[in-house]
Structure 1
Amino acid sequence: MSPKYAKDMPQDFTNRIERVAIVGASGQIGQYITKALVDTGKHTITALTRQGSKNELPSGVKTILVDYNDEAALIAALKDQQFLIITLPVTAPPDTHSKIVKAAAKAGVKRIMPNLYSMDDSNEALVKETPLNASKEGILSDIEAAGCSWTYMICSLWYEYSLAMGPIWFGFDFANKKLTLYDEGTTKVNVTTWEQCGRAVAAFLSLNELPEDETDKGVTVETWTNKPLVISSFLISQKDMFESWKRDSGDRDEDWTIESEGSKERYQKGIEAMKGAQDPMSARMGAAMASFVRAFFPNGGGDYESTRGLDNGKLGLPKEDLDERTAVAKEMVEQEYAAKLFAKMAQGS
């Protein structure tokens, strides 16, 4: 397909993304994307919120209550939007994403950031062996079949969330001060903070939509048409995380029980727990154990910045302070974030 240039567009074409719709604007990652977009002051933001939601949104965000099963209402809500961002919880019905995409296409939305906040999907073994991996092919084919383009985000594991959630995730049992190292705990993996994800989306959507002409070599929204944004906050190991935790908390090695477990053995335990589970939540915990330890397999694809590079520089993303972000995770632990989230998931909300 021949390149598109702003100079060739109709006279009323404005070479920037001004109108952005977000599904899940108050969710785990959605709230950070929404805030970052608001902070730019460059966009009119419309949040599509399910009926009955009581979550608050930043000032200036237009809210439209929708029933995701009502296509006509979705089309009306998405009319005139230039870009759609979809973030959905794991409790969302499996066909919700497809319904939103089809409605967006009928409303004339051309560009979509789907509900993919992904690992390094260029590593086939990693993708195949990660139980919680979303079906990228199905999601993207839905978007392409609808005549829209996509840009999703490769950000791997969310740092503060994964650290605070408990031993199944990064091996930290804070209540009992017990750390399970995967192998020697020295395998480095890419992790990303929610705030960095938000900044990445805001920076991306603040670019020109198209190059001005053939001489314009700068990055634009078009640069990532049907390509992922590849970002990260840190390339770190479990031991790096523990050192950061100790600096923030004042804990010492002797305050903790530190054990090690082979990453492949732990992975197999997770798979067996998932397959033998008697209920959906137990199955998900087994899948989480297998999925998170899989990223820590030595040379297993958890470090993707060394193999494919990052888009951080192109987007002007800042270098973050590890101890500051670990302090955020510490606060989440103290506020019992994981227990509250599990309770919310059990309620299906």
Structure 2
Amino acid sequence: MSEIKSVAIAGASGTLGPHVLKALIDAQFQVKVLARSKKPGEFDAGVNVVEVDFTSVESLTAALKGIDAVVSTVAGTAIKTQTVLIDAAAVAGVKRFIPSEYGSVTTNPKLEAFPLYENVFKIKHHLQEKANAGQLTWTVLACGAFLEFLFAPGEASLLDFTDRKATLLDEGDNRLSSTSLATAGKAIAGILKNLEATKNRVVKVSEVILTQNQLLKIAERLRPGDNWEISKVAASAVLKEGLDELSAGDFSSSAIFKVINGTGLAGETYGSAYDETDNELLGVKELTEEDLKKFVVEKLA
């Protein structure tokens, strides 16, 4: 397979998108941003932004002519609409498609039974159909939970650093792979420089494998005078509660994160910790204990 020179990115203004855009530019790829509309100042002056209709194969095909690879970083309800982008990529002769997933979902087939993850699996199956027909190749990047989310206030955080509260799932020792947004971006650039080694498969990267107890111990060592309020809940109970709420029509972030946490922090049940990775292939370095301390110190301030 010939090398990748030109890359189109969808979702470049989202959470992960800017990091992917920077990594692709830094890696000397010719980058085209696909956007619903051009907004002044949204991207640097030198970035090539093209307006497209994401519901139209014709519009997207025209924008993808001459493009070697497509990277999607769309989020939320836009996940399921990637089928149109994939179809257009196939028609335009795109060589490699990287869909928006970036978690641990399709690394474990057990998760396909959950409605929350249904669209992610549909996209992967759609890509495989195109690959089987010889129309394009694909790579899914599994990078675990984004490190920034695990330390930020909110439902994705492993610990409540602000109020010094820790709700441990099971005993707090369930392992979870995590990667920063910037490193995920660099890993995507690495995929596009290693086409054969990453062809039609899930590649795994992990900067660090975390547990809640691990972070709690670091916090207690850094601030020995702080009193943490610690409670425990079964990961299976959190998952069931989230699934029940979704089944009842509650699609709030609370219900969604109960499912995410109930699967992601369920230990080996859903395989959220990567002991074998493609770190070396993609140039990803693991974080040290000192690196972790820096994250915790910032949150304890």
Q: Secondary structure at the match of 1:152?
A: strand
- 2:229 aligned partner, one-letter code: T
Q: C-alpha distance in 1, partners of 2:76/2:49?
A: 22
**Counterpart check, 1:116 vs 2:93:** no
**Counterpart check, 1:47 vs 2:21:** no
Q: C-alpha distance in 1, partners of 2:300/2:99?
A: 30
CA contact (8 A) 1:49 1:65 kept: yes
Shift of 1:243: 3.8
Q: Determine the structure 2 residue equivalent to 1:135.
A: 119
Shift of 1:298: 3.7
Q: Secondary structure at the match of 1:56?
A: coil
Q: Using structure 2 for the length normalisation, give the TM-score.
A: 0.85
- Which stretch has the larger CA shift, 49-58 or 26-35? 49-58
Q: C-alpha distance in 2, partners of 1:61/1:180?
A: 44
Shift of 1:251: 3.9
For residues 235-292 of structure 1, what are the alpha-carbon distances to aligned partners after superposition, in whole Å with 9 as ceiling and x for unaligned?
Answer: 1101222344567xx54463321111122222222223333355x3x2x421321221
Q: Determine the structure 2 residue equivalent to 1:341.
A: none
CA contact (8 A) 1:129 1:294 kept: no
- 1:299 aligned partner, one-letter code: E
Q: Determine the structure 2 residue equivalent to 1:172.
A: 159
Q: C-alpha distance in 1, partners of 2:289/2:76?
A: 28
CA contact (8 A) 2:246 2:255 kept: yes
Q: Determine the structure 2 residue equivalent to 1:11.
A: none
Structure 2: any 5+ residue segments left out of the alignment?
Answer: none
Q: Determine the structure 2 residue equivalent to 1:88.
A: 74
Q: C-alpha distance in 2, partners of 1:263/1:204?
A: 33
Q: Determine the structure 2 residue equivalent to 1:237.
A: 211
**Counterpart check, 1:293 vs 2:262:** yes
Shift of 1:28: 1.1
Tell me the percent identity. Answer: 26
- 1:83 aligned partner, one-letter code: A
Q: C-alpha distance in 2, partners of 1:63/1:80?
A: 15
For residues 296-316 of structure 1, what are the alpha-carbon distances to aligned partners after superposition, in whole Å with 9 as ceiling and x for unaligned?
Answer: 22422344423xx10001222
**Counterpart check, 1:156 vs 2:144:** yes
Q: Secondary structure at the match of 2:244?
A: helix
Structure 1: any 5+ residue segments left out of the alignment?
Answer: 5-14, 208-219, 335-349
Q: Determine the structure 2 residue equivalent to 1:29.
A: 16
CA contact (8 A) 2:187 2:284 kept: yes
Q: Secondary structure at the match of 2:268?
A: coil
CA contact (8 A) 1:149 1:226 kept: yes
Shift of 1:24: 0.9
CA contact (8 A) 1:130 1:291 kept: no
Q: Determine the structure 1 residue equivalent to 2:201.
A: 227
Q: Determine the structure 2 residue equivalent to 1:305.
A: 274
Q: Using structure 1 for the length normalisation, give the TM-score.
A: 0.75
- 2:144 aligned partner, one-letter code: S
CA contact (8 A) 1:234 1:322 kept: no
Shift of 1:45: 0.5
- 1:222 aligned partner, one-letter code: E
Q: C-alpha distance in 2, partners of 1:55/1:134?
A: 36
Q: C-alpha distance in 1, partners of 2:296/2:117?
A: 24
The ranges of structure 1 where at least 4 consecutive aligned residues each deviate by more than 6 angstroms after the TM superposition are 329-334
Structure 2 vs 1, CA of residues 137 and 257 (structure 1 numbering), >3 Å: closer, same or farther? Answer: closer
Q: Determine the structure 2 residue equivalent to 1:78.
A: 64
Q: C-alpha distance in 1, partners of 2:51/2:171?
A: 49
> How many residues are aligned here?
297
- 2:285 aligned partner, one-letter code: P
Structure 2 vs 1, CA of residues 186 and 145 (structure 1 numbering), >3 Å: closer, same or farther? Answer: closer
- Which stretch has the larger CA shift, 98-107 or 318-327? 318-327
Structure 2 vs 1, CA of residues 79 and 259 (structure 1 numbering), >3 Å: closer, same or farther? Answer: same
**Counterpart check, 1:314 vs 2:281:** yes
Structure 2 vs 1, CA of residues 103 and 120 (structure 1 numbering), >3 Å: closer, same or farther? Answer: closer
Q: Determine the structure 2 residue equivalent to 1:266.
A: 238
Q: Determine the structure 2 residue equivalent to 1:339.
A: none
Of structures 1 and 2, the larger Rg is shown by 1
Structure 2 vs 1, CA of residues 75 and 237 (structure 1 numbering), >3 Å: closer, same or farther? Answer: same
For residues 156-214 of structure 1, what are the alpha-carbon distances to aligned partners after superposition, in whole Å with 9 as ceiling and x for unaligned?
Answer: 21121133152x32443344332101122112221121112111111222x3xxxxxxx
Q: C-alpha distance in 1, partners of 2:296/2:152?
A: 5
Q: C-alpha distance in 2, partners of 1:328/1:65?
A: 38
- 1:258 aligned partner, one-letter code: I
CA contact (8 A) 2:215 2:296 kept: no
CA contact (8 A) 1:83 1:111 kept: yes
Q: C-alpha distance in 1, partners of 2:112/2:57?
A: 33
CA contact (8 A) 1:51 1:67 kept: no
